[in-house]
Amino acid sequence: MDDIDLIRNFSRTYTHRLGLLSKSYLGSGLALSEARLLHDLDRPGPVRARELAQGLGLDEGQTSRILAGFARRGWIRRTRDEADSRQRPLHLTEAGRAQLEVLRLASRTAIAEATAPLGAAGLAALARVLDQASDLLRPPQPPLLRGLLPGDAGQVIARHAALYARDEGYDQSFEALVAEILAAFLTRNDTARERGWIAQSPGGRMLGSVFCMAEGPEAPQIARLRLFLIEPEARGTGLAQRMIEACLGFAAAAGYRQMRLWTHESHQAAGRLYARNGFALVASAPARAFGCEVIDQTWQRDLP
Amino acid sequence: MDDIDLIRNFSRTYTHRLGLLSKSYLGSGLALSEARLLHDLDRPGPVRARELAQGLGLDEGQTSRILAGFARRGWIRRTRDEADSRQRPLHLTEAGRAQLEVLRLASRTAIAEATAPLGAAGLAALARVLDQASDLLRPPQPPLLRGLLPGDAGQVIARHAALYARDEGYDQSFEALVAEILAAFLTRNDTARERGWIAQSPGGRMLGSVFCMAEGPEAPQIARLRLFLIEPEARGTGLAQRMIEACLGFAAAAGYRQMRLWTHESHQAAGRLYARNGFALVASAPARAFGCEVIDQTWQRDLP
DNA sequence: TGCAATACTTGATTTAGTCAAGTATTGCAG
DNA sequence: CTGCAATACTTGACTAAATCAAGTATTGCA
């Protein structure tokens, strides 16, 4: 059972369970090739018929016929290329985009039904590993660092809870703490002095988080770096460094004079990262937290 | 970009890159449905045509025709059901099995070509995440614990190196150490007193390893638990406990009086597991190893 | 005993896909 | 600027897979 057999094995399971091979695509009346073609038409600029055919490995004749059908149904507009009138650049119309949305919903429903037995947690785990696979299949692209969007806070809570429970044995009280921290952050909504970053894979799954928060009114010049988490599969890639830099840069620009953070001694890789970024260990004390014996650490550095 | 969109997105990337949709299956002259049908015929007992059709979502008429073709080419034998002569139980012949092997090789070649740009490490990573996905899609099954097979030692070395480099920052000297330990183990080949276990997912990927080795001639009654590793995604599932029990059970049966192990303080979850299994910390000392400052720990317990 | 249900098979038809030829246009060597 | 190969797409003829419906032999059961 080598790597290739594992992949073959997956293909069979996947096509079987997710029914990728379904003819007459999801009852939408469109054939699979038509659906794929329509999807590939959804690009900002004009599209060439040949590009589409080659991109999908479809026969050009067949492509031509399918496109004729789309034009008849008003899903695409075929314009005339001024410079070369052999070509007929294609544009998706509003009707075409609407049809694409119909398709998207049908496909979402089908996947939701097929994955219903997995439950929400299983679905999230599946999405996570499949998106990892997407990343591996695509030419490598660096993760995106972006601000917080709706739904991110929940993800941050869920991943903190899951990973700390697995790796450190933390109990539910840790999830509650993370939820409280985030709830307060969102409530304060102090965008000038506080910010969160989400690292996101090219496919869109969350790879990590970091937050810059105010230490509190009694220490207005101190910023706190919090909820710093990198998914295991994204560790050792330099992503953590990028995220720390984003956080430090924001804190300095927001006028803080120091940045402080709180961690546990067991996070050795994190400790090395903090040390590399000018933080120094300023306090350390054993404590009992989240059902475990831990050694709390406080690190601090000055900001430029 | 929610979970379902991530899955949709993966499906597109995957079918595009791995070309699942290839008609005329891989130049073997068989259509995709024929290949899938032939594959599903490969089961120990007799198979019913209807089962096959329903299992693959194929039309019964079409199934009948394809099966007639298989029978004509001598790939299947159609017997007569004594109790119900409407049914014609199907059996794959040797020729059919040979054809299946042709198909398997063609499919392997196709995957190997499609994944060539990823390199060996990328392929291994892809196989790993896709097999995780297979596990998630299947009804849950517990991992299998088995002895060492050819190729396992290499995997054990590779995963130790990769995970410790990622999580602890160990350098290459750690990989060398693991390789030496395993080479010596394989060379001694002392099956009565030493053994290794591999935990394997239902799909077949390695989920973890543990070894029972002799401490050495100067301490013949002491066994050492070594190379204990659980893949991150398999942590917190009780697998580690099963593996420790297997190792302890073997050591006791092999006549050892004590079991000893060596770890680092930073592996807190492992430490808790050892404590739960009767081990006590007997020595602890800071050391510099594999390019890191660590705190070596020795744990020990008596065997029944 | 008769009749619906089952386990397939066969026939008629549709349709996606293939291959090759056809049309209009472009680019470029002579 | 002429002619001819190349390009971008279309069209026609054909193949084969898939679908739908009807057909056959057999079973089970009221």
Q: Over its length of 304 residues, how does chain A's per-residue pLDDT go in tens digits?
A: 789 999 999 988 888 887 665 655 666 778 889 999 999 999 988 999 999 999 988 999 999 999 999 999 999 999 988 888 889 999 999 999 999 999 998 888 888 988 999 999 999 999 999 999 999 999 999 999 999 999 999 999 999 999 998 888 888 999 999 999 999 999 999 999 999 999 999 999 999 999 999 999 999 999 999 999 999 999 989 999 999 999 999 999 999 999 999 998 888 889 989 999 999 999 999 988 888 888 899 999 999 8
Out of B19, B125, B268, the one facing A136 most closely (by C-beta) is: B125
- Our count of domains for chain B comes to 2
Listed ranges A9-23, A160-174, B25-39, B229-243; the one with the highest mean pLDDT: B229-243
Based on the fold, state whether residues B95 and B236 are members of the same structural domain. no
pLDDT at B20: 63
- Provide the pLDDT confidence category of residue B167 given band limits of 50, 70 and 90: confident
Tally the residues of chain A: 304
Based on the fold, state whether residues B79 and B197 are members of the same structural domain. no
Measured in angstroms, the CA of A161 and the nearest CA of chain B are apart by 13
CA distance B55 to B71: 20
* B42-94 tens-digit pLDDT: 998 899 999 999 988 899 999 999 999 999 999 999 998 888 888 999 999 99
Measured CA A59 to C1' C20 distance, in angstroms: 13
Say which DSSP state B142 is in: P
Q: Which two tokens stand for residue B118?
A: 């990823």
CA distance B186 to B178: 12
Residue B130 lies in a domain: no
Based on the fold, state whether residues B290 and B158 are members of the same structural domain. yes
Structural domain for B45, as ranges = 3-114
Residue B57 lies in a domain: yes
Q: pLDDT exceeding 90 applies to what percent of chain B?
A: 72
Residues 15-74 of chain B sitting with CB below 7 angstroms of strand C: 23-24, 48-51, 60-61, 63-65, 67-68
Based on the fold, state whether residues A190 and A91 are members of the same structural domain. no
Answer whether B221's CB lies under 8 Å from B256's CB: yes
Based on the fold, state whether residues B109 and B201 are members of the same structural domain. no
Residue A74 lies in a domain: yes
Based on the fold, state whether residues B65 and B109 are members of the same structural domain. yes
CATH of residue A279: 3.40.630.30
Residue B110 lies in a domain: yes
Average pLDDT estimate for B32-42: 92
- CB contact, 8 Å: A108 with chain B? yes
Give the CA-trace dihedral at B61, B64, B68, B71, to 10 degrees: 170
Mutate to test the interface with A, among B130, B134, B200 (most CBs of A within 10 A): B130
Listed ranges A65-69, B8-12, B168-172; the one with the highest mean pLDDT: A65-69
Q: Which two tokens stand for residue B114?
A: 């499609």
Based on the fold, state whether residues B103 and B228 are members of the same structural domain. no
Domain final residue pick, A114, A134, A160? A114
Burial state string for A121-150 with b = 16 or more CB within 10 A and e = fewer than 16:
ebbbbbbbbbbbbbbbbeeeeebebeebee
Residue B30 lies in a domain: yes
Domain final residue pick, B114, B134, B162? B114
Scan for tokens 């890159």, then name that residue: B17
CA distance A135 to A202: 7
Element (H, E) at A182: helix A172-188
State whether the beta carbon of B33 lies below 7 angstroms from any atom of strand D: yes
Nucleotides of C under 7 A from a protein CB: 6-12, 15-21, 24-27
* B114-140 tens-digit pLDDT: 899 999 999 999 999 999 999 999 999
Based on the fold, state whether residues A148 and A218 are members of the same structural domain. yes
Residue A134 lies in a domain: no
CATH of residue A19: 1.10.10.10
Q: Which residue of chain B has the CA closest to A1?
A: B204
Based on the fold, state whether residues B29 and B177 are members of the same structural domain. no
The gap from C-alpha B172 to its chain's centroid, in whole angstroms, comes to 25
Residue B288 lies in a domain: yes
Contacts of B37 in chain A (CB under 8 A): none
Nearest to B10 by CA among A81, A63, A137: A137
Based on the fold, state whether residues A64 and A155 are members of the same structural domain. no
Based on the fold, state whether residues A226 and A166 are members of the same structural domain. yes
Measured in angstroms, the CA of B200 and the nearest CA of chain A are apart by 11
Residue A120 lies in a domain: no
Based on the fold, state whether residues A173 and A229 are members of the same structural domain. yes
